[in-house]
Structure 1
Amino acid sequence: MHKRTATGIKNSIENGLKTGPLLRLLAGTVLLAGCMTTAPKTPDTARAAPAALDLPPMKIFSPAPTQTTTRSNASIARDFLDLSFALETGATLERFTRFEGPITLRITGERIPASLGYDLSRLMDRFRSEAGIEITRVPANQPASITIETLTQDELSRRAPNTACIVVPNVSSWQEFRHARRANLSWTQVERRERLAVFIPENVPPQEIRDCLHEELAQALGPLNDLYRLPDSVFNDDNIHSVLTPFDMLILRATYAPELRSGMTRDQVAAALPGILARIHPAGAGRATVPVQPPPPAWTQAVLTAMGDAPLPQRRRAAELAVAIARNEGWSDSRAGFSWFLMGRLAVSSDRAQAHLALDEAYRIYAARPETRFHAAHVAMQRAALALSEHRYQAAYELSAGAIDAARDAENAALLASLMLTESEALEKLGRTQDARSVRLDSLGWARYGFGSDDEVRARAAEIAALAR
């Protein structure tokens, strides 16, 4: 994923930025080095064999049938309030804000990747059909409510270190952002949204560009907070979801309900939500609502440290603390699964027994619930990579092949390609050469969308191939 440290995230938010996507967990990378801040290294000899791969055209996801959330309206109302009236730092937002009136959008930048237009068009169609939000695209030289500006990753990092992409209020260009006073960029001072900018790197894989579009535009339009307790949302710093979910679209539809307006207090919004949700989501009426408590601050800090750029031993201790807190709290939800997942991934390089135990437990938690099916696919990738490296080829095949449908449904090409490459290597070792070749060829088109450059695709294929040796 796009790397950001915990300190960088906190500073960016406190300076008025909303950064995203956070620590995307490198779903398409085999992290047997146990390090989440850099791509794993492989010997030159391991890269040599796939270097001659003849890569097929890039594959892209087609529009999927519209889905609906199965959540209760009471839980949606609770989460709407917690998402809309706080920042990730814990700072409270005193007023509800959104765009009032027509919303326009433009794209600027010296280099606009070809994939951006397609993915943006798909997203705007979803905003219109699922969230009831009409956004009009205007030429780059016209003023707009939302400006999407592309720039290089280096340029972005110089002004906003440790961020992947950002949304900023009260500006319409990178130049304006660079010269703006910090107070003018603070979300806590926004009374209603009139103009803002989304800054996205141009020189990253198409999937990362798409992920930035989904998260940043969703936050440009709606909530600014993230909640670890949400298993079915991009508004969650575990970043399992690559694209906006049915829950997210319902949150945005409620945000632009006519019963709401900028400037309303939390109590006023809370009073309006039951009627709004009864109208836009009648299926959620009367459904059971599981009570939740905010995670202890110590758990949140432990997770941030585990995902940050501290030395590996410190990150491992933080992950172990997160697991201990989750067990003490009696959690069996996605927060518990994420704690075990972090511990397992960080233990791979130094304690295989602990890695197996933790990843198995994360998988058990995630696989038990339909709403964490995509989470289970991420864990399955790690378990399959372990099996491949330990020459348990049948297990590697079953684990990777069993998670492919979930990765495809999640529209996560990096994860999908990695699972398919792992399956291919396992099939090759099991003597099913023709099947292995077919799966490998299919995987490479997805890898081009998920990983970007031809060199990176070949490097990722080499990393997985090296595991089986």
Structure 2
Amino acid sequence: MFRFLTLSAPLFALALSACAPTAATDVPARGAAATPANLPAMNTFGSPRVASPSRSNTSIAADFLDLTFQMESGRVIDRMSRFEGPITVAVTSGAPASLNADLDQLLSRLRTEAGIDISRSSSATASITIETMPRARMQRVVPQAACFVVPRVSSWSEFRRARSGRTLDWTTLDTRERVAVFIPSDVSPQEVRDCLHEEIAQALGPLNDLYRLSDSVFNDDNFNAVLTGFDMLVLRTYYDGALRSGMTRGQVSAALPGILARHNPRGGSVAGGQGSETPRAWITAIEAALGPGSSDEARITAAERALRMAQQRQWTDTRLAFSYFALGRLTLSRDVETSIQAFQSASTIFERVAPRGIQSAHVDMQLAAFALSAGRTTEALRLTERAMPAATQAQNASLLSTLLMIRAEALDDTGRASEARSVRLDSLAWGRYGFGSNAAVSARLTEVAALSPGR
């Protein structure tokens, strides 16, 4: 229901400057990276090519039930609820310019890939109403949320009036009729789009997130931000004619084998059981590590606690890898060796669980920044080249932009100035979508440029 704020991407210049070798005084340093006065036009993504889930239908059925019959808080949902009949989506006035194009693309995918009867509407009584507002205004009421979705209302004013009662309690729904999605208006186009995908997916279907899922937006690790093939299968299943609002977990469980056999026939020939539950203590530790309001020391301690729990439970999946990833991020500026080792451990696990996936791309970006700072340009070029296809596939413009910025610096350091200029311009075009404002793009360019020993 809520997309929570987490720590922003690390400031590479501050975190890694200690790794950079000192240039000899008789070697002229390359000038500071300059952001062009007129940035190139913003790059945008087309419709993604998504892969079908590779897990067994037995595993997917277990995921579906855990996603559908439990809230993120752990509260049990007794009966399934969904929209019955055609679904309409309205956007209130004042939305960012990029929102409408991304919304149209999302709705097209929901119709085509999930088979949902969903369309735009200008009606004040639309099934789903999307309202945008400045982030500060939204967070005065819901401080920790980047964006969120609530039932039984269609506007911010209705939401404010209904907060004191049970109106907004998803567990009391029989059938979904009206839902409101609230998104900040003063963030990057990518963040607006990410909110659209996650909140509309939960407005339509499951209300839970599972950290064990490596290929889904229904996961609070926020690696996947655009609906995946697994997510579309979940939503197609959610709106299958064999299911309806009011069904119990037992009734849905009995129907799932037949539904999944129709929608995912290849899953019937894949072996595999259900994933293990994630204890609340581990989730709490991860939230403390990556959430706001704590000191660096407290965050690192929380990440270490999450890692110990993952190891003690002998997890071998994305939860163990994410524990290492969190520790790597948090120790960037304090303990370089620990950070590198944590990222390398995360990389090994991510590559086994989701080869060449978006998780590995995030780790490769961190390791490429280390390599650039240490003057290992060949390694930086190799890591960025390996990560870019996954960043593109996942439509993560901020990650793609950062990878290209690192790559441009490495190319400059190897004397390939013309190629570096071309790559840097491309990074700025993606940065406009991923980071938003010209100032934010320029700041990231400066951070990455400061890593280079040639500066």
SS at match of 1:198: strand
Tell me the amino acid that sits aligned with residue 378 of structure 2.
Q
Match of 1:166 among 144, 148, 151: 148
Amino acid across the alignment from 2:248: T
Paired AA for residue 173 in structure 1: S
Structure 1 unpaired stretches of 5+: 1-17, 36-45
Separation (CA, whole Å) in 2 of partners of 1:294 and 1:30:
34
CA deviation map 1:208-264 (0-9, x unaligned): 000000000000000000000000000001010020000000000000011111111
Code of the residue aligned with 1:68 in structure 2: it is S
Paired position in structure 1 for 2:365: 381
What's the CA shift for 1:66?
4.8
Report the CA distance between 1:391 and its aligned residue: 2.5
Unaligned runs of 5+ in 2: 17-29
Supply the AA of the counterpart residue of 2:222: N
How many Å apart are 1:54 and its aligned residue?
3.5
State how far apart, in whole Å, the 2-side matches of 1:350 and 1:47 are.
28
Contact between 1:87 and 1:93, CA under 8 Å: does it hold in 2? yes
Single out whichever of 91-100 and 288-297 deviates more from structure 2.
Answer: 288-297
Q: Shift in Å at residue 289 of structure 1?
A: 0.8
User: Kindly tell me: are residues 102 and 340 of structure 1, through their superposed partners in 2, closer, same or farther at Cα, counting changes over 3 Å?
Assistant: same
In 1: Cα distance, 2:435 partner to 2:74 partner: 34
Query: Residue 199 of structure 1 aligns to a residue in which SS?
Result: strand
- Secondary structure in structure 2 of the residue aligned to 1:467: coil
Shift of 1:153: 0.8
- The percentage of counterpart residues that share the same residue type is 50
State the Cα distance separating 1:304 from its structure 2 match.
Answer: 1.2
How far 1:286 sits from its partner (Å)? Answer: 3.0
- Matching residue within 257, 277, 282 for 1:299: 282
User: What residue identity is the alignment partner of 2:206?
Assistant: P
Contact persistence 2:42–2:430 (CA under 8 A): yes
Which residue of 332, 338, 344 maps to 1:354? 338
Task: Tell me, yes or no, if structure 1 residue 235 matches structure 2 residue 200.
Answer: no
Q: Is residue 2:169 matched to residue 1:186?
A: yes
TM-score scaled by structure 1?
Answer: 0.90
Aligned to 1:50, the other structure's residue is in SS state coil
Counterpart pick for 2:76 among 75, 83, 92? 92
Instruction: Give the 3-state SS of the residue equivalent to 1:216 in structure 2.
Output: helix
- Residue among 154, 158, 168 paired with 1:176: 158
Once the 2 structures are TM-superposed, how far is the Cα of residue 50 of structure 1 from its aligned partner?
2.3
- Residue 129 of structure 2 is matched in structure 1 by 147
Aligned with 2:113 (options 123, 126, 130):
130
Which residue does 2:53 correspond to in 1? 69
Aligned pair 1:253/2:239, yes or no? no
Q: Does 1:244 align with 2:230?
A: no
User: Is 2:63–2:275's contact at 8 Å kept on the other side of the alignment?
Assistant: no
Separation (CA, whole Å) in 2 of partners of 1:31 and 1:465? 9
Higher deviation after alignment, 322-331 or 269-278: 322-331
Rounded to whole Å, the distance in 1 between the matches of 2:201 and 2:251 is 23
Aligned to 2:22: none
Cα-Cα RMSD: 1.9
- Provide the C-alpha distance between the structure 2 equivalents of 1:279 and 1:251, rounded to a whole number of angstroms: 13
Quote the residue 2:403 is aligned against: 419
User: 2:209 & 2:355 partners in 1: Cα distance?
Assistant: 17
Q: State the secondary structure of the residue aligned to 1:104.
A: strand
1:32–1:345 CA contact under 8 A, matched in 2: no
Give yes or no for contact 2:48–2:395 (8 Å, CA) kept in 1.
Answer: no
Instruction: Provide closer, same or farther for how the CA distance between residues 371 and 255 of structure 1 changes in structure 2, counting only shifts above 3 A.
Output: farther
Q: Aligned runs of 1:374-453 on 2, under 5 Å? A: 374-453=358-437
How far 1:48 sits from its partner (Å)?
7.1
Query: Could you tell me how far 1:21 is from its partner in structure 2?
Result: 5.3
